[in-house]
Structure 1
């Protein structure tokens, strides 16, 4: 008997190790390699703000960005771990995906079995990768906290007498609010499920106790952050940027925009995955109608039925439909696809779990083979480390290299076109806090205030260089610094809100700066007084 138990333990341990290895390969396969590429616009500003935090700067007060503060401090932590390298951010991204994968796998395995857990994990990581767009997004980090909410919710139903699990759901809500207030659908789904279950059970005492611990969990996270920013004199600005501005920014909500967003999300995530998830959603609804929420699986499915529509609305609320807004769909699509697999196996292969080790081994082999370019790039990094142990392993484009070669570390550089990744990579600070200028996004007193602040900072402390970095997609949104080029492109003024003092700013730049170089297709302007 002891021999059988020992053999079973070794077998389960080996299976667990292989499962974790596979999840690690999956996570690595969707992440951008810092040796070859930059993150996108949002990821770049998070890096820049994170680097300023390590210098003692305060977000919102000294640099403007409309996301919650947690993503900045995650970036600061990653940079601190790696001595300023983007590989520290890569490590944290990997860690967040890996931990989310483990948590989700454990929950699905307990409720549905091994193969549905493998299928659900595979789908949610792939679908998240399909809309990751270079990574380092607040929506990406929210995935871990969404899965923590799922875990806490599931355990709270198994052990209703243990308050810790409801507290955990509340903590995850607080963390997601601090990343981006829109990223709360899973926690909202949990709250809605608690309420609906109570309507049937009539156990209102348990419900109100859950509400209390849920609220405590949120406050445990939010209150220290509020106190910190209040002590720094930045609380009002944080509220203006994160809450007031984002509300104004989303004020243009319209049904057509939302429907277009849902279409874009389905296409980008993967029509097949979304279709299977919708099928799983329909099966879940039928299961609940048939079983009246009695089974553990039914109670778990209810959080998905409530949460996914909330996520769909929140992700498309602004009508701007950037693909990374839809990263939050991944847990729902993955878990519902896993449920569909569970139903198929229960109907056609009820004993399939005995073959799960073979499925797992096949996944371990197929995962790296399916995307050879990714692993070829990682191999190039390892080769570089072996051949030149002290060489830099972060990609640096020619513009950042030019800035480093032609300015001093104390010189300021402003990037026209909202690409603060260049400030980060070149280790040159911007002289202004409102980096999106000339876009102010909303025609409100707040937007005008930030535009005035920008002009004051620019003219009081002019940067040594201004880099004109306007991507093709922004040509009809951001006026070029070159007046000739500016005449070639008509700005879609019905779709963007430009600073009211834009002409004053353009005049100041034209009077005080001269174009000296074009690097990688981007014009470099130097302050006239600094020309020999």
Structure 2
């Protein structure tokens, strides 16, 4: 491989070299975060669900969350093979990021050459790993690791058996992140339309049949263990109905989503008007339709969190890259050595985290850090009874203490106040206040872990926050504060 900084040409880029480079880039950026207790609370929930599966409990039977089962299977597989290891989970997360970036490279190379492919892949690695809570292993990371190779196969190959493989990958995509079903459906309809438009109906229909068969096969395989145990209705409620209800509840607002969608679509309209993007190109059409499908899923959900955008980065970056290299001004761009210094400043979050973990190692004797780790360590050191403990924050502590959430709906603490989820989780309580009352007054946990902030739940849950804080003040006392964690012990 030759990389000439003067004209940024790439010669003889071998796939294995590119993959190794992207993995090492992702590893360097993400490695200092391997030792945190959690980076996003969803990751902690996935770990708990995976651990439960390893112990013989199908998802949604003992613990509950509304993600599809393939997300939990990823974590279960790692825990089964490597035990309770944050490092193993984050290394496999790094591998997932590298896979997505590699197929972003392959798509970019297929459309615009190696130069476009490598730069979009580098950008994809960075955007999947920095800014916000992206250093953890999220369901979005897993879903696009299936989606990008599926898109590459659809762009590159035209045989029915390749479409069957792409269908399997799309099935895994949907069973990892259900909202991407909109993108998959819209893409399928577009491919059907294109078969009619190009008068290749026989070949097009055959490919689509195999694409659909592969997708449906994966979905049916996730149902199979539930069917064998007479729990098909539980799968249906948890995997299909609960996410649909969650989206319908529209916990966000269109005003949170539309600006992003409008900006992206306006950018493409400008590129089309300026002839910077050829929408007659079959590859461009597939990627653009995929972008539309993902944006539609955001609109249906009513909000866009930072980690949601992971789903759109690969396809969007390739299209933006195509537009970028078509702009005449870009062709007058010349590489300057100091640009490398600017690029090295991009992963500033990683540099700060490297410093933080080294400092923590010097002061505490371990790289592992965070209240989710410190609290269980303290409880064990003080020999406190943890048989009846409630984590309203830092719930990764259940995993480290070999304990389970006290109720299914409290597996992820935020679900306690998401009443639209209650009918699908199996809880008999009808309201958030009933669930909180049951946890505190009926189960009466010996220990409760909270964060030192005014609101225990989301700020809009005014009644629930006031009741819980008041109940804790009357019936518990804080026996220890560890950074932002409060450890409450029941009086008498």
- The TM-score with structure 1 as length reference comes to 0.74
Q: Distance in 2 between matches of 1:241 and 1:142?
A: 18
Residue deviations 1:364-412, cap 9 Å, x none?
8875554355257458879999x9xxx8643242333233334578723
The answer as to whether partners of 1:396 and 1:425 remain within 8 angstroms in 2 is no
Q: CA deviation at 1:249?
A: 1.8
- Structure 2 partner of 1:403: 379
Question: Is 2:395 aligned against 1:420?
Answer: yes
C-alpha distance in 1, partners of 2:183/2:276? 17
Give the secondary-structure state (helix, strand or coil) at the position aligned to 2:368.
Answer: coil
Residue correspondences, number: 470
- Partner Cα distance (2:329, 2:164) in 1: 34
Could you tell me which of 287, 294, 297 is aligned with 2:278? Answer: 287
Cα distance change of structure 1 residues 319 and 518 upon mapping to structure 2, 3 Å threshold: farther
Q: Helix, strand or coil: the match of 1:226? A: helix
Pair 1:147 & 2:154 matched: no
Q: Secondary structure at the match of 2:449?
A: strand
Partner Cα separation in structure 2 for residue 470 and residue 329 of structure 1: 35
Secondary structure of 1:56 counterpart: coil
Other-structure match for 2:6: none
Residues 372, 476 of structure 1: alpha-carbon distance in 2 compared, 3 angstrom cutoff: closer
Query: Which stretch shifts more, 76-85 or 365-374?
Result: 365-374
Larger Rg: 1
- Cα distance in 1 for residues equivalent to 2:285 and 2:162: 18
Q: What does residue 29 of structure 1 align with?
A: 29
Q: CA deviation at 1:20?
A: 3.5
1:130-165 deviations in whole A, cap 9, x for unaligned?
454442211121111111121111123xxx3x2122
Instruction: Please say if 1:442 is aligned against 2:420.
Output: yes
5+ residue gaps in structure 1? 1-10, 488-505
Q: Which moved more, 1:300-309 or 1:274-283?
A: 274-283
Match for residue 321 of structure 2 among 328, 338, 342 = 338
Q: What corresponds to 1:519 in structure 2? A: 481
Q: Could you report, residue by residue, the CA deviation over 1:399-431 in whole angstroms, capped at 9, with x for unpaired residues?
A: 3323333457872321135x4223224433222
Deviations 1:261-296 (CA, angstroms, capped at 9, x unpaired): 243689xxxx8x9986665566679623xxxx4xxx
2:7 alignment partner in structure 1 = none
**1:98 equivalenced with 2:73 (yes/no):** no
Unpaired runs of at least 5, structure 2: 1-10
Structure 1 position 330, deviation (Å): 0.6
Superposition TM-score, scaled by structure 2 size: 0.80
Q: How far off is 1:15 after superposition?
A: 9.2
Compared CA separation, residues 71 and 443, structure 1 to 2 (3 A): closer
Contact 1:87 1:394 in 2 (8 A): no
Measured after TM superposition, the shift of residue 244 of structure 1 is 1.5
Q: How far apart are residue 344 of structure 1 and its match?
A: 3.7
User: Is 1:301 aligned to 2:284, yes or no?
Assistant: yes
Instruction: Please state whether the residue corresponding to 2:300 is helix, strand or coil.
Output: coil
Equivalent pair of 1:67/1:180 in contact (CA under 8 Å): yes
Q: Root-mean-square deviation (CA), in Å? A: 4.1
